[in-house]
Amino acid sequence: MNLILFDPAEIAPPLPRRDPRAAHILDVLRRSVGESFDAGLINGPKGKGTLVGVDEEKLTLKFAWGDAPPPLDPIALVLGLPRPQTARKILQEATALGVRALHFFCSEKGEPNYRQSTLWSTGEWRRHLVAGAAQAFDTRLPEVTWESPLADILVSLPTAGTRLALDNYESPAALSQTEIATRHITASPWERHVVLALGPERGWSARERDLLRARGFALVHLGPRVLRTETAVAAAVAVVKAKLGLM
Amino acid sequence: MNLILFDPAEIAPPLPRRDPRAAHILDVLRRSVGESFDAGLINGPKGKGTLVGVDEEKLTLKFAWGDAPPPLDPIALVLGLPRPQTARKILQEATALGVRALHFFCSEKGEPNYRQSTLWSTGEWRRHLVAGAAQAFDTRLPEVTWESPLADILVSLPTAGTRLALDNYESPAALSQTEIATRHITASPWERHVVLALGPERGWSARERDLLRARGFALVHLGPRVLRTETAVAAAVAVVKAKLGLM
């Protein structure tokens, strides 16, 4: 937890001592009354929190806010809904890496039950975004959706920029050899936008491939090695960020 | 487990049914007697295993070997010894990504107790390499060391190629903007070799930075976001592989 993040509604009331952030302030950062720590308002500014008081029940904090951090990177992920344990890692890691949006969909070769996980129904998914942002010293959370079909997601995404789909089977080119529209670096930020689609573990169906191609996606691969989905996400985002000069 | 890997000494004797590979062959792949599966000999060829017999105690297998896979990628990692749970992830993920060597060292700002972990003393570390290779459909395991000091590691590494050290604090350039000696692509493979050094969570000491610079390392960064060590490893290896045209 490099940055301790708060929702706007959490700023005024005291922080319960059983909250993990209270334990972090007292036991990891070892802050005493009068001392301060790096804090952030979710999707808002970064600043300093100061420990004003401690008792058995709660911490009283005050905050001084500075500037808002820069926008997230112009990268959106479209992901076949993976098993919940993989989704947790991807939510946290992709947030730490700075992607702007994650759109999960039930793919034809995927497991539809994954959408019933408590990860999605209880709001747990947001905790992993907050952990990823806190790790990256950022306040901004990406947009996350998991209920739209692939076709609807593709229509909703920006049409400018570059659209790439990772595919171990039918892709003619390596991601590293693919041109990304960075020439427009001084033009609209949308021109630099990259949509990166990753299928589920079992791969894309023929219909999904046709849909991706019809929507302007180039199929690319990450080399001959078979990677776990979360490793492929981190690797592909890193290569795209490097191409955009962001890493 | 995309490829079921065996040590040479395990080929002739039957496979005990309590071995996780036996469970994988019977329960995940659902193979019956006479059916075959993708198998590999660690650091040797890939091929097919065939289930010849099953009883309550053991599986009898026979093997037909094909060609050895290509060598691992010309990338060596030098890593400040991380907490064991992080080291486990790095061992598996870096192996899946295809790095040739991982050299861990006790850094000045690191925690020397990490070397006492059962991860290193019991040989558990090798299990994570085997899991990473099996995931990547490869038989080759990287070289791993964890007992040499940084100075000795740096002397032992190939001197041709590119040497980069990730540093959040004093690095003037982004990894993506750094030239890697890919012009020699048709010359000796060592010319393309990349050594990538990552400090521990708390960063390099001044003396370690001086040592790295004296040994020809350029300090580079991965952008302003603070990444967990395992995420930084995957991201940096991916960017280097992309620059080498391997991803």
User: What is the token pair recorded at B241?
Assistant: 């592989």
pLDDT in tens, chain B (247 residues): 899 999 999 999 999 999 999 999 999 999 999 999 999 999 999 999 999 999 999 999 999 999 989 999 999 999 999 999 999 999 999 999 999 999 999 999 989 899 999 999 999 999 999 999 999 999 999 999 999 999 999 999 988 889 999 998 888 899 998 888 654 445 555 568 999 999 888 899 999 999 999 999 999 999 999 999 999 999 999 999 999 999 9
Cα–Cα dist A95/B134, whole Å: 28
| Residue percentage of chain A with pLDDT more than 90 | 85
Contact A56, A46 (CB under 8 A): no
Mind listing the pLDDT tens digit for each residue in A20-79? 999 999 999 999 999 999 999 999 999 999 999 999 999 999 999 999 999 999 999 999
Instruction: Spell out which residues of chain A touch residue B239, defining contact as CB-CB under 8 Å.
Output: 238-239, 242, 247
Q: Which residues of A touch B237 (CB under 8 A)?
A: 235
Query: Which ranges of B51-171 would DSSP assign to H, the alpha helix?
Result: 84-97, 118-121, 124-135, 150-156
Q: What is the pLDDT of residue A1?
A: 81
The pLDDT value given to residue B183: 46
Most B-contacting residue of A3, A85, A220, A225 (CB-CB within 10 A), to test interface:
A225
CA distance B222 to chain A (A): 4
For the stretch B142-189, pLDDT in tens is 999 999 999 999 999 988 889 999 998 888 899 998 888 654 445 555
- pLDDT digits over B182-197, tens only? 544 455 555 689 999 9
Rounded-to-integer distance, Cα B95 and Cα A124, Å: 31
State yes or no: pLDDT of A184 exceeds 80.
Answer: no
- Domains of chain B: residue spans and CATH: 4-65 (2.40.240.20), 73-243 (3.40.1280.10)
**Percentage of residues in chain A with pLDDT exceeding 70?**
96
Prediction pTM value: 0.94
CA distance to partner chain B, nearest, from residue A203 (Å):
14
